[in-house]
Structure 1
Amino acid sequence: MHITIDRSHFLTAIQSVQKAISTKTTIPILTGIKLSVTEQGLKMTATDLQIGIETIVQKEQNGETILQIHQLGSIVLTAKYLGEIVRKLPQATVDIEVKQNYLTIIRSGTSEFNLHGLDAEEFPRLPQVTGNQVFSIPSDLLKDMIRQTVYAVSTEEIRPVLTGVVWSLKEGNLKFVATDSHRLASRKVQVEAPEEMQLFNIIVPGKSLLELGRLLSEDDTLVDIVVADNQVLIHMGRTQFYSRLLEGQYPDTTRIIPNTYKTAVQVKTKDLLDAVERAALIAKDNDNNVVRFNIKQMIIDITSNSPDVGKVSETLKPIQVSGEDMIIACNAKYLIEALRVITSPEITVEFTGSMSPILLKPLDNPGYLTLVLPVRIY
């Protein structure tokens, strides 16, 4: 194998695929990136066996030569060293040549590195995901859906299905739901899909979605999603992202979302977030990170106390309050994380009772809601 490649394009490709590499693996070849040179270009692949990322560097882009192929072939190079070397190289182009026994010479300007590679035939093959379960969604919208739900997945392996976000699709409505049994986030949008296409109980690991979110662009370029029996594949231009799906039945979360409320508060999102973050400075030193709300007509008193530290109190003036007076408390960390992913300037917060879920609804996004379970304060 022997190529000359534009350094910036090469580095971008390395940074994309290395998101699939686990730092905890004990299998040496999984710490590497597979480089495969064909007549079409340079294909780069990385996987930790749970997720896989594959991207292609073409020979030309916008009339500019990106890649010159001198000899076809393949090699696996350790991602950590490859990325650091390419980032520090002095010239705009990089020459990579594989010699006998997988010795790889990387040249740029007067710099020359010799890296010991691995046999590309030993590298795991990514699954061939095929099927007619395909739908499309703008990249920025998918990125937003991930951001607004993945924070609520469980980090504990006691119930593995709760470490993922469950997807469903019916009549073109794509819905993401995540819960760790203390909070819940749900986002629903309309997507481009065949009318008859339906998906249920597609559980994508939260860790996979975090990496996918970092790969997705902030524009409205359409992304194609293919769902197979135990895999999901996301096509993003010249890059493909694979993830295994979690097995098991996701719990029915519709039963815990209140349909009615006793008290509703309309408030500026940033004002509420700032107030809760200030209260959390004291709350983080009490047992349950508890912040307490005393809701009266046009006033919300927010308080927190810790026997060893002290207490904090603040009065927040909402835009509107309707219903009964209410005293309720919740975990400040959960509420802060929910508020941080809401982009709407104003939200409605609905309360059904002191021990019923607190529901947060952005005013300009009816497809999104999040809830936080309260904690007992007496």
Structure 2
Amino acid sequence: MNLAVMRDALAQGMSLVIRAVPSRTAIPILSHVLVATDDGDLRLTATDMELTLTVWVPIERLEEEGAAAVEARTFHQIVSKPIGDQVELIYDPDTQILTLRGGPTTSVRIKCLPADDFPPVVAPEPTEGSLVLPASLWREIIKQVKFAASTDEARPILTGVSIRTQGNTVTFAATDSYRLSVRRVTMDTPLPEWDVIVPARALGELQRLAKEGDTPIQMHINLGQQQAVFRAERAELITQLLEGKYPDYERIIPTRFNTRVVASRDELLRQAEVAQVIAARESNIIRLSIQPGEDGPGTITIASRGEANDANAWVSAVVEGEPLEVAFNARYFIEALEAIPTADVVMEFIAPASPVVLKPAGQDDFLHILMPMQVPA
């Protein structure tokens, strides 16, 4: 292998695929990235056998094809340094040495493993059809749903995001049993029938792959291999699906309310973040007191207190129905507000201990359910 690539493009590609490299592994080859020429591009691939990331980097000059398995973190750290605008990669399969040259003043030699030692990576063919959404919509969906997934491996099914289709609608949902996010997208044409669970971690990596632009990203499923594949313009993500049945979350979504509040999302978020500073030092609980106005707008009082400190803030709101006092985990409440894309947020309450609905004003494609905290008066 003998070629040249732009260092910035190589460093950016490595910053993406490095996230599939396990931090600890008993299999040495998994700590490596496969670097290979591929139809005029340099293909970078890393895997932990559950998640595989591939990025294609344009080649500026190609003299000889080839492939090598390079120790990923060493390679990433070197190409991330300003060693030159363009980097030459020269691999000798006899000595298994990869030489990196960043202009006339920098030369680095890295001992590699044979490319044939790297696990074969072949994206499965779609058996259940495909879903194509613009990158910006993938980013929005993941932002609204992923944070509600559990990080507790004791309940692995909840560490994933449920993706179900029905007719023209695809529904993304995640819950950790304390909160639930549901996002629906309606397409112009009928969708293949899906009921799968994608690891939330995989969607987090997809969010990074789709962090810029609005190019289409295709998702397809192969149930035989229990894998999902996401394809972008110059990147590909392959993930194992989680096996099991996702909880029936629809049954816990309230269909009525006794108190409805409409308030500025930004103002609520700002005041909740102030209250969290005090709450974080104690129980991480904030209290909301909701009062309808007699002749004008109602009020939301946000309070937190500790042994020696307390915080109180007031936010004007449109309040319909009964007054109410409710307590939330501060971080959960803030993360729910951050997922709201509109200027105003709608909150619907039944009782202080019942699930609360938060949703964007004027939109019915997203909702978040948050369980209140039980606290002494």
- Same fold, TM exceeding 0.5? yes
Kindly indicate whether the alpha-carbon contact (under 8 Å) linking 1:16 and 1:215 is maintained by their aligned counterparts in 2.
yes
2: CA distance between counterparts of 1:162 and 1:270? 30
Q: Does 1:316 align with 2:323?
A: no
Q: Which residue of 2 aligns with 1:62?
A: none
2: CA distance between counterparts of 1:38 and 1:284? 51
Q: Which residue of 2 aligns with 1:344?
A: 342
1: CA distance between counterparts of 2:132 and 2:191? 15
1:112-150, CA deviations, whole angstroms, 9 ceiling, x for partnerless residues? 111101111111122431124212101110111001111
Q: Which residue of 2 aligns with 1:123?
A: 118
User: Residue 83 of structure 1: SS of its match in structure 2?
Assistant: helix
> For the structure 1 residues 350 and 3, does the alpha-carbon distance in structure 2 shift closer, same or farther, using more than 3 Å as the test?
same
Kindly indicate whether the alpha-carbon contact (under 8 Å) linking 2:34 and 2:68 is maintained by their aligned counterparts in 1.
yes
Q: Which residue of 1 aligns with 2:375?
A: 377
Equivalent residue letter for 2:246: Y
Equivalent residue letter for 1:221: T
Q: Does 1:250 align with 2:246?
A: yes
Q: Percent identity?
A: 30
1:86-113, CA deviations, whole angstroms, 9 ceiling, x for partnerless residues? 2325332222111223111111222111
Q: Does 1:75 align with 2:74?
A: no
Q: Which residue of 1 aligns with 2:295?
A: none
Q: How many residues align?
A: 366
Q: Does 1:148 align with 2:141?
A: no
Residue 83 (structure 1) shift: 1.9
User: Residue 149 of structure 1: SS of its match in structure 2?
Assistant: helix
> For the structure 1 residues 215 and 111, does the alpha-carbon distance in structure 2 shift closer, same or farther, using more than 3 Å as the test?
same
Q: 2:232 aligns with which of 219, 224, 236?
A: 236
Q: Which residue of 2 aligns with 1:3?
A: 3
User: Residue 22 of structure 2: SS of its match in structure 1?
Assistant: coil
1:265-306, CA deviations, whole angstroms, 9 ceiling, x for partnerless residues? 11000111112222222222333x221122111122222222
Q: How does 1:61-100 map to 2 (within 5 A)?
A: 66=60, 68-99=61-92, 100=94
2: CA distance between counterparts of 1:366 and 1:168? 17
1:331-351, CA deviations, whole angstroms, 9 ceiling, x for partnerless residues? 111101111122211011110
Equivalent residue letter for 2:221: V
Q: How does 1:63-212 map to 2 (within 5 A)?
A: 66=60, 68-99=61-92, 100-109=94-103, 110-132=105-127, 133-191=129-187, 195=190, 197-200=192-195, 202-212=196-206
Q: Which residue of 2 aligns with 1:63?
A: none
Kindly indicate whether the alpha-carbon contact (under 8 Å) linking 2:324 and 2:352 is maintained by their aligned counterparts in 1.
yes
2: CA distance between counterparts of 1:177 and 1:39? 38
Residue 327 (structure 1) shift: 1.5
Q: Does 1:220 align with 2:218?
A: no
Kindly indicate whether the alpha-carbon contact (under 8 Å) linking 1:136 and 1:191 is maintained by their aligned counterparts in 2.
no
2: CA distance between counterparts of 1:322 and 1:6? 59
1:43-86, CA deviations, whole angstroms, 9 ceiling, x for partnerless residues? 22111111111122344xxxxxx2x2222221011122212222
Residue 38 (structure 1) shift: 4.3
TM norm structure 2: 0.92
Equivalent residue letter for 1:171: G
Instruction: Identify unmatched segments of 5+ residues in structure 2.
Output: 293-297
Q: Which residue of 2 aligns with 1:334?
A: 332
> For the structure 1 residues 313 and 87, does the alpha-carbon distance in structure 2 shift closer, same or farther, using more than 3 Å as the test?
closer
Kindly indicate whether the alpha-carbon contact (under 8 Å) linking 1:2 and 1:71 is maintained by their aligned counterparts in 2.
yes
Question: Please, which moves more after superposition, 21-30 or 175-184?
Answer: 21-30
Q: Which residue of 1 aligns with 2:46?
A: 46
Equivalent residue letter for 2:374: R
Runs of 4+ aligned residues of structure 1 deviating over 3 Å after TM superposition are 38-41
User: Residue 345 of structure 2: SS of its match in structure 1?
Assistant: strand
Kindly indicate whether the alpha-carbon contact (under 8 Å) linking 2:131 and 2:191 is maintained by their aligned counterparts in 1.
no
1: CA distance between counterparts of 2:315 and 2:102? 60
Instruction: Identify unmatched segments of 5+ residues in structure 1.
Output: 60-65
1: CA distance between counterparts of 2:290 and 2:123? 55
Kindly indicate whether the alpha-carbon contact (under 8 Å) linking 2:123 and 2:229 is maintained by their aligned counterparts in 1.
no
